[in-house]
């Protein structure tokens, strides 16, 4: 290795260190502020305290917003897992024309501006006379979570060797039994991982949800934004820390199921 190469390598690693610090800054700051006693976000905190967490119990609207978010995320993820897995199997196994176009169509909600998708749905739901906020949220969030399921399950299916099913049938399993005993276990890690990240995407969604909330039905990100506008205090950092913990949990599950490196596949 020449001196120039060493220098370049050194610079790349230095940039990587800066990148890590830069990427982690918002998360570290949020957690630090949430456990501090200062109400003006002094860093490092003058002393540690749990007072912002205690105040969460009496924060108006927080628990109902959390409830709404969890229900919307759970229901829309469940629907997406069924629709998305069925569709991914169809795309891999059938000979329907234009499979690539269909696959692109299914993941396209991730590539288009959420705000525009939200507005389009708002106008369409109104035209159909659908005014219920909760139902609208579920309908919209299925569209947003479906790409995660299709992408991940499709990836796992393309690695699956389908001759294994024929082998199981030769060995006496029925077709359904072969699917259940051979395909299902092979798909399970990707299926669960996609569910976890679909759930997270729904929980965190802002640009679409904003069009489907009313005074009684608010999702957590919308409620948080309202707190930011009304009274920005470290309670918001405490809620954020909870959401960061949820993301950590999702990563631990994802790492156990498919490994961190597979999660980084793009």
Partner 1 sequence: MTKRVDLFALSALPAVLYLLVIYAVPLLMLLTRSVTGAEGLTLAPYTAFLSDAFNWQIIANTLRVAGLVTLTCLVIGYPVAFALSWARGLAQAVLLLSIILPLSVGVVVKAFAWQIVLKRDGVVTAALMATGLFEEPPRLLFTETGLVLGAANVFLPFMILPIYSVAKLVDPRLTEAGATLGATPWKRFARITWPLTLPGVISGIAFTFSLSVSMYVIPSLLIGDRFQTLATLTGRSFLLMRNEALGSATAVLLLALAVAVVVGSTWFARRLGRAA
Range 89-118, binding partner 1 (CB under 8 A): 89-91, 93-96, 102, 105-106, 109, 111-117
Spatial distance between the Cα atoms of 173 and 175, rounded to a whole number of angstroms: 6
Any contact of residue 252 with partner 1 (CB under 8 A)?
no
- The residue within the footprint of partner 1, chosen from 45, 65, 119, 238 (CB under 8 A), is 119
Any contact of residue 74 with partner 1 (CB under 8 A)?
no
Spatial distance between the Cα atoms of 53 and 55, rounded to a whole number of angstroms: 5
Any contact of residue 133 with partner 1 (CB under 8 A)?
no
Stretch that binds partner 1, among 152-160, 163-171, 182-190, 231-239 (CB under 8 A): 231-239
If the CB atoms of residues 50 and 245 are measured against partner 1, the closer one turns out to be: 245
Any contact of residue 5 with partner 1 (CB under 8 A)?
yes
- The residue within the footprint of partner 1, chosen from 39, 43, 48, 67 (CB under 8 A), is 43
- The residue within the footprint of partner 1, chosen from 39, 123, 174, 231 (CB under 8 A), is 123
Cβ atoms of residues 247 and 204 within 8 Å: no
- Nearest in space to 79 (alpha carbons), one of 234, 195, 247: 195
- The full length of the chain comes to 266
- Nearest in space to 207 (alpha carbons), one of 90, 69, 76, 114: 114
Report 156-195 residues binding partner 1 (CB under 8 A): none
If the CB atoms of residues 13 and 63 are measured against partner 1, the closer one turns out to be: 13
Any contact of residue 72 with partner 1 (CB under 8 A)?
no
Spatial distance between the Cα atoms of 39 and 56, rounded to a whole number of angstroms: 14
What number of other Cβ atoms are within 10 A of residue 195's Cβ?
Answer: 23
Closest approach of partner 1 to the CB of residue 248, in Å: 7
Angle separating helix axes 220-230 and 235-257, nearest 10 degrees: 150
């Amino acid at each position: 290795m020449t001196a120039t190469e060493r220098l370049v390598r050194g610079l790349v690693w230095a940039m990587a260190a800066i990148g890590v610090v830069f990427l982690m800054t918002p998360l570290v700051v949020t957690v630090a502020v949430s456990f501090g006693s200062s109400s003006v976000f002094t860093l490092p905190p003058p002393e540690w305290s749990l007072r912002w967490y205690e105040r969460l119990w009496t924060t108006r609207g927080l628990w109902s917003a959390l409830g709404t978010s969890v229900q919307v995320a759970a229901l829309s993820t469940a629907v997406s897992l069924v629709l998305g897995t069925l569709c991914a199997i169809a795309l891999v196994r059938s000979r329907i024309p234009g499979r690539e176009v269909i696959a692109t169509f299914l993941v396209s909600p991730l590539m288009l501006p959420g705000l525009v998708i939200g507005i389009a749905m708002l106008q369409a739901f109104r035209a159909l006379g659908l005014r219920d906020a909760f139902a609208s949220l579920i309908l919209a969030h299925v569209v947003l979570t479906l790409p995660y399921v299709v992408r991940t399950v499709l990836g796992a299916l393309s690695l699956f060797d389908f001759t294994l099913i024929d082998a199981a049938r030769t060995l006496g399993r029925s077709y359904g039994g072969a699917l259940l005993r051979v395909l299902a276990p092979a798909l399970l890690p990707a299926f669960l991982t996609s569910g976890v990240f679909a759930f997270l995407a729904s929980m965190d969604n802002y640009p679409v949800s904003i069009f489907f909330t009313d005074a009684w039905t608010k999702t957590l990100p919308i409620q948080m934004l309202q707190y930011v506008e009304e009274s920005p205090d470290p309670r918001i950092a405490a809620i954020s820390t909870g959401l960061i913990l949820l993301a950590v949990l999702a990563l631990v599950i994802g790492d156990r199921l498919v490994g961190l490196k597979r999660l980084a596949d793009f």
